[in-house]
Amino acid sequence: MWIEHDLTHLRLQNPHAATIGAFDGVHRGHQVLIGGMVAESRARGMAPLVVTFDPLPGQLKDPHGYRLLSTLPDRLERFAELGIQGAIVIHFDAAFMRTSALEFVTELAHNLSLRALWAGPDFRLGRGREGDIAFLRQTGGQLGFAVRTLQDTVTWGGAPVRSSRIREALRVADIETTNGCLGHPYRLTGIVEHGERRGRLLGFPTANLQIDQSRLLPGNGVYVCRAYLGTATYSAITNIGTRPTFDHHPPNVEAHLLDFSGTIYGRTLHLDFLKHLRPEVRFGSVEALVRQIRIDEATARAWFQDCEDGLDGDMVRPG
């Protein structure tokens, strides 16, 4: 998949289809939209494209409160897996916000040789969100592209799949709903950094992750995770929180990789969150904490064994 950061310099010749959006998390709704575009594009001899933004509009409007479900590299990787042939990443800033819907759509139509534009039913673009579906259909008729919209709302567990629902589920540590709506495990990626080495002293060494501050962390607690270190994969239990047994610290993410020994400082670790085990609590003694960690590890091992036995093979349970 090719990636371009400057729409103004593109002059594509062959016919293309495109969809536009933040696509934060690339959840099930996004997947259905993109999947429909890819399927029709293949049938009609068009190349499917995604137009997305960096930073996302929410980051510009609420820089201190908005947290990402996925980084730009995460989104681009998902697009490629879904069959997208090219991605245009537009720098979203105050100047771009002033672009009219007509100006933006005209540039898309001409520069991309646009023949089809795919969007959700509530999609709007341009200055003040002035460009709704009716505007796009009328303008598309003049500029030579059709507008395709999803006919049905994508649901999971009996409720619509929306980014806001996923965010709320993450905040309350509801990993089942989070992953169900995403259609894939929620992932955090970070660089392993030096910590206080307290886990090693307790007999459970942990990898302390430096997570980009733009990411939305799951609610405080202990989780079953799948960890990816280079080409190796490990089962893991991960704690997110302030370590209240030790008089609280700034929020952090630390993972204990089962059946692993070695030094991994400075390396990149990916964590896929699969199950919430328990909330973070303050224990009356270090011994009580160690006993609970042993229980957590045994519970995680049993859960992974159930997965291997086929009880939860895809790790994203249907609603």
Domain limits at 12?
A: 2-152
- Residue 29 is classified by DSSP as H
Type and span of the H or E element at 193 = strand 186-193
Residue among 207, 212, 213, 242 nearest 225 (CA): 207
Per the structure, the count of domains in the chain is 2
Do 139 and 177 lie in one domain? The reply is no
Convert the pLDDT of each residue in 138-155 to its tens digit.
999 999 999 999 878 899
Percent of the chain past pLDDT 70, that is, above it, reads 92
pLDDT-derived band at 215 (thresholds 50, 70, 90) equals very high
pLDDT of residue 151: 79
Parallel, antiparallel or unpaired: strands 268-278 and 186-193: antiparallel
Q: What's the number of CA atoms in the CB half-sphere (13 Å) around residue 263? A: 4
Most confident of 137-141, 198-202, 257-261: 137-141
Q: What is the pLDDT of residue 245?
A: 53
Q: Which residue in the block uniquely carries the two structure tokens 């105050």? A: 94
What pLDDT, on the 0 to 100 scale, is given for residue 315? 52
Please determine, for residue 123, whether its predicted confidence score (pLDDT) is greater than 70.
Answer: yes
Report, as an integer, the average pLDDT of 88-96.
95
Decide which of 152, 170, 191 is a domain's last residue: 152
| Interval 148-176: pLDDT, tens | 998 788 999 999 999 999 999 999 999 99
- 178 assigned to some structural domain: yes
Task: Find out whether 34 and 20 touch, Cβ atoms under 8 Å.
Answer: no
What mean pLDDT value characterizes the chain? 91
**Residue 5: CB atoms within 10 Å:** 11
Question: What secondary structure letter does DSSP report for 144?
Answer: T
Amino acid at residue number 17? A
Residues paired with residue 90 on neighbouring β-strands, in sequence order: 53
Q: Are residues 143 and 186 in the same domain?
A: no
State if pTM tops 0.95: no
- pLDDT at 197 (0 to 100): 59
For 24-82, how does the pLDDT look when each residue is reduced to its tens digit (9 = 90+)?
Answer: 999 999 999 999 999 999 999 999 999 999 999 999 999 989 999 999 999 999 999 99
Domain finish residue from 152, 172, 196: 152
